[in-house]
Structure 1
Amino acid sequence: MNSRTFLWIEDRKEKAGFIFWKRLLQQLCPDIKVESKTNNSELVKAVRNLKDTENRYIIVLDNSFDNLQVALEQK
């Protein structure tokens, strides 16, 4: 089985952050699959529940200076 690379982002699919990453990676790294986790809480849950050891995951978080939840999760 071939391993895949995923980029997980907390923005919903219609938000600018998701659209930015999706379009950028389509041009630079089309093999990376961009997936929305809808919000920070769902992204954190997905990371905590991740059992997959075959694939690679890139996790994109908001800048923590304006997002207390992300700052706490990073610690």
Structure 2
Amino acid sequence: MRKKVLTGSVLVAVCCAEISKIPGVVKADGVTGPYDVIVHVQAEDTEQLLLVTANVHSAEGVTRVSSTPIAHVPG
């Protein structure tokens, strides 16, 4: 699952560092474009995913979170 994060006045690097500490977060990268941070999350189930999402949303500087599931198609 990929989370797109919009930050407020907090520096993106600070936001990425804080988000990276959240259990379930695989990595957090600063990007350019309509969002400031892309967060890669791994969760065993929906309950865990909701918890990780809530923790990302409560990180300092986060003003908005949007989720995009990544579908792995066997090939």
Same fold (TM over 0.5): no
Structure whose residues are more often strand by fraction: 2
TM-score, L = length of structure 2: 0.32
Larger Cα-atom Rg = 1
